[in-house]
Amino acid sequence: MATGGPLGPEIWLRGPVPPELAQPSVPSAPSATPRRHSFVGVHGGAGTTTLATVYGGHDGGRSWPGPAEPRSILLVARTHASGLDAVRHALELFRHGGAPPGLDLDGVVLVADAPGRLPRPLTQRIKMIESAIDVYRVPWVNAWRLGDLSGSRPRETEALARLTAVTP
């Protein structure tokens, strides 16, 4: 690498650099466009299709997003024991660089696996996950189970709605 020359975009581009690219640019104002997310299930039946429909975003199923899909991901799991174990495994995968490069892990969405309160051992597992990453909880919605996604979103999911920039 040559020294003494101007530093800037020319170090990333091959060939001559147009003058407008060689000049430092003024940062633009933040975009009003909401950040799009890919919902990625860490196990089958996690609820990625329902979440993508209700909150907007890409339904990744159980696959990492492709190059044309949103690179900001939300891992999705049910709140049963095997779902929470799958979340911990996926977080370890990210921590050790096992996920595809260029993905931004924005959080975990935990979808209730049954109505009512969680047993204490599951609540303790969720607290461990929350100590490592933002967790968004989605309560049991009986209408969703019946396929009716047209109603209002649960008020407990306001933080998730803000993250995905969905308005009521």
Computed on alpha carbons and rounded to an integer, the radius of gyration of the chain in Å comes to 20
Between CA 136 and CA 74 the distance in angstroms is 9
Query: 134-159 as b/e, with b when 16 or more CB fall inside 10 Å?
Result: ebbbbeebeebeeeeeeeebbeebee
pLDDT at position 165 is: 79
Sequence-ordered alpha helix ranges (H) in the chain: 19-22, 48-55, 81-95, 120-130, 142-145, 158-163
pLDDT tens figures, 19-44 = 554 555 444 444 445 568 999 999 99
Q: How confident is the model at residue 119 (pLDDT cuts 50, 70, 90)?
A: very high
pLDDT at position 90 is: 95
The residues, ordered by sequence, that sit 6+ positions from 18 with a Cβ below 8 Å of its Cβ are none
pTM of structure? 0.78
**DSSP letter at 146?**
T
